[in-house]
């Protein structure tokens, strides 16, 4: 494996995941005005939710996909906003699972803190406790981002998360993968 690359969580490459179908959006963060980029994030997320609900015939997947795609894209937009790099969201459909990949590039200096937070989430035995702590920390800190979104994706939306980080010098490519089991969704039909 590339020594600049690290994997956190149960990550699988799209080309190794035996997808039945994919849907991909790519856009250059620096090219679009911030407010329009934000609006596009909502439009893309709603479209993805509607598109796959229609394909799968599982209504419960729509709000789940909408929230997860929107949260991952929000994170990508926040961290890429000053750059002229491509943000990509790709959704892969397997027989028993949906895979959502969101890729962006971020400042390498911020990666250690991010990695520490990811590890805390992945190791957490009590996500409700982590949620409460994140909210209390947000109250006592000047930092605007609370990381509540990633906790909510796992805890409330039932997805698992994994990351691929690729150090490219000043910038690091971050690919976040959210995995949604369709077995659980079909059981509720």
The correct pick among 8, 86, 88, 148 for binding another protein (CB under 8 A) is 148
Name residue, tokens 């993805």. 48
Residues touching another protein: how many (CB under 8 A)? 28
| Residue 89 to residue 23: CA distance in whole angstroms | 8
The correct pick among 44, 48, 53, 64 for binding another protein (CB under 8 A) is 64
Query: Which residues are within 8 A (CB) of 20 and not within 5 positions of it... i.e. 6 or more apart?
Result: 93, 94, 95
Name residue, tokens 């909502």. 42
8-state DSSP, 143: -
Q: Is the CA virtual torsion 66, 132, 122, 6 positive or negative?
A: positive
Contact flags string 42-61 toward another protein, x per CB under 8 A: x-----------------x-
Interface with another protein, residue 149, by CB under 8 A: yes
Interface with another protein, residue 79, by CB under 8 A: no
The window from 12-20, 91-99, 144-152, 173-181 that contacts another protein (CB under 8 A) reads 144-152
Please give the structure tokens belonging to residue 46: 């709603």
The window from 2-10, 96-104, 141-149, 170-178 that contacts another protein (CB under 8 A) reads 141-149
Interface with another protein, residue 70, by CB under 8 A: yes
């Amino acid at each position: 494996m590339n020594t600049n690359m690290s994997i956190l969580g149960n990550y699988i490459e799209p080309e190794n995941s035996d997808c039945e179908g994919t849907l991909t959006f790519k856009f250059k963060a620096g090219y679009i005005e911030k407010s329009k980029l934000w609006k596009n994030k909502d439009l893309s997320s709603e479209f993805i939710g509607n598109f796959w609900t229609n394909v799968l015939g599982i209504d419960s997947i729509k709000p789940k996909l909408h929230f997860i795609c929107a949260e991952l894209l929000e994170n990508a937009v926040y961290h890429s906003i000053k750059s002229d790099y491509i943000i990509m969201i790709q959704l892969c459909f397997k027989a028993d699972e949906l895979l959502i990949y969101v890729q962006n590039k971020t400042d390498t200096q911020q990666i250690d803190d991010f990695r520490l937070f990811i590890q805390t989430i992945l190791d957490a035995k009590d996500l409700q406790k982590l949620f409460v702590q994140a909210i209390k920390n947000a109250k006592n800190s000047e930092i605007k981002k609370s990381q509540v979104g990633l906790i909510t994706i796992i805890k409330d939306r039932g997805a698992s998360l994994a990351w691929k980080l690729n150090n490219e010098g000043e910038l690091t490519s971050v690919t976040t993968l959210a995995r949604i089991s369709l077995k659980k969704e079909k059981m509720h039909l």
